[in-house]
Structure 1
């Protein structure tokens, strides 16, 4: 399970992400761009933290 935390306070768990994809993510010049292209639309996920409210 890959857990991704966003600056707005939300967090998601992505299931089935292979170690090879994780390694590419942490070594990417732009992890956000890599995640949008290769993780966010390719793996099932669930929200585990709601957006922070003011």
Structure 2
């Protein structure tokens, strides 16, 4: 999946596959996680958030199924 760089103290890049609703997040420590069944509107909110890490923590983590890649 292609990811776009983001400005964040914790997140390096973010990608999204609208066909499967998969959100992929790469962290500065090199780990990559995929979150499943994420609505596209939520992805748009994430990439436009003032704090990408804060948005991820508040709206994605603990809400959507995930897998470490």
TM bucket normalised to smaller: 0.7 to 0.9
2:29 alignment partner in structure 1:
8
Bigger radius of gyration among the two = 1
Shift of 1:41: 1.0
* RMSD of aligned alpha carbons: 0.4
Query: Are residue 27 (structure 1) and residue 48 (structure 2) matched?
Result: yes
**1:52 corresponds to which residue?**
none
Q: 5+ residue gaps in structure 1? A: 49-54
Tell me, what secondary structure is at the counterpart of 1:2?
A: strand
Give the length in aligned residue pairs: 48
From the two aligned structures, give the one with the greater strand fraction: 2
Q: Flag as ranges the 4+ runs of structure 1 deviating above 4 A.
A: none
Deviation at 1:19, TM superposition (A): 0.3
- Which of the two has greater helix per residue? 1
